[in-house]
């Protein structure tokens, strides 16, 4: 491979122009792509992901420490909500870089699985690692603040850092004196690729429905939908 792809549109979305575009190419290269392209001259993105994960955690931790006086437990939960795979995969969709990822044909077709969510999240971490190597801490911090820490306000306002099932149960008991129950409404797919649809009920009333690849995941999704349906999310403390 001699020609470098045109990364200008992606660089504009990322807010960083690479001096060494091979770093960006590596950040976008999934291990599966190399299995089908043995002559590809660059490595896959797992080492950059390893580096980016550490840079991301440090920048987010520093921001939380400097801006909030809350105890360690709160800050830990908020950080986890910011850097988890679901949040990062959502950010990858906002940046529209899924089509730039270099995947095997099989991985490219499998767009809706949990595995794809982790590929996208890992891609964000790899890009952070690439930006850090290319532009240092200031460039990485600029990206993280613009595209990741910018989601903190919503996470705090909607209490997305709180376990949804616990929050839904505590609120239902406090306001209604009722303990929610969960029921599997549908189960489909082969054993290795199940999808569960679960409903959360207050007494006999169906409040919301959630889906997932396990009963627990579907219950959490149902509880999250239930919090929204009942408007039971509350606002979190302000900054210093």
**HSE on the CB side for 223, CA within 13 Å?**
23
Q: Which of 49, 53, 107, 224 is labelled catalytic?
A: 53
Which one-letter DSSP state was computed for residue 102?
B
Range 26-30, long-range pairs (CB < 8 A, 24+ positions): 26/126, 26/130, 27/123, 27/126, 27/127, 27/129, 27/130, 28/97, 28/100, 28/101, 28/102, 28/123, 28/126, 28/127, 29/102, 30/101, 30/102, 30/103, 30/104, 30/107, 30/119, 30/123
The number of beta carbons lying within 10 Å of the beta carbon of residue 193 is 10
Active site residue 228: no
Active site residue 53: yes
Distance from C-alpha of 201 to C-alpha of 209, rounded to nearest angstrom: 9
Distance from C-alpha of 10 to C-alpha of 16, rounded to nearest angstrom: 9
Measured in whole angstroms, the distance separating CA 221 from the mean position of its chain's CA atoms is 15
Q: Which of 49, 107, 125, 159 is labelled catalytic?
A: 125
Catalytic annotation, residues: 53, 125
């Amino acid at each position: 491979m001699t020609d470098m792809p045109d990364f200008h549109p992606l660089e504009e979305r990322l807010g960083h122009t690479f001096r060494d575009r091979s770093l960006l190419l590596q950040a976008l290269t999934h291990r599966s792509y190399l299995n089908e392209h043995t002559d590809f001259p660059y490595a896959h993105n797992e080492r950059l992901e390893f580096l980016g994960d550490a840079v991301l955690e440090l920048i987010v931790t520093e921001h939380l420490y400097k801006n909030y006086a809350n105890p360690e437990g709160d800050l830990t939960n908020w950080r986890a909500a910011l850097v988890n795979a679901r949040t990062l995969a959502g950010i990858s969709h906002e940046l529209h870089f899924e089509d730039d990822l270099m995947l095997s044909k099989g991985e490219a077709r499998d767009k809706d699985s949990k595995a794809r969510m982790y590929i996208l999240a890992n891609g964000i971490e790899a890009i952070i690692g690439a930006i850090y190597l290319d532009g240092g801490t200031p460039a990485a911090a600029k990206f993280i603040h613009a595209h990741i820490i910018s989601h903190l306000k919503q996470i705090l306002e909607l209490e997305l850092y709180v376990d949804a099932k616990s929050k839904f149960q505590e609120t239902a008991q406090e306001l209604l004196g009722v303990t929610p129950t969960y029921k599997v409404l549908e189960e489909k797919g082969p054993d290795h690729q199940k999808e569960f649809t679960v409903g959360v009920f207050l007494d006999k009333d169906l409040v919301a429905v959630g889906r997932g690849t396990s009963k627990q995941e579907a219950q959490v999704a149902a509880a999250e939908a239930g919090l929204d349906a009942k408007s039971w999310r509350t606002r979190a403390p302000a900054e210093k």
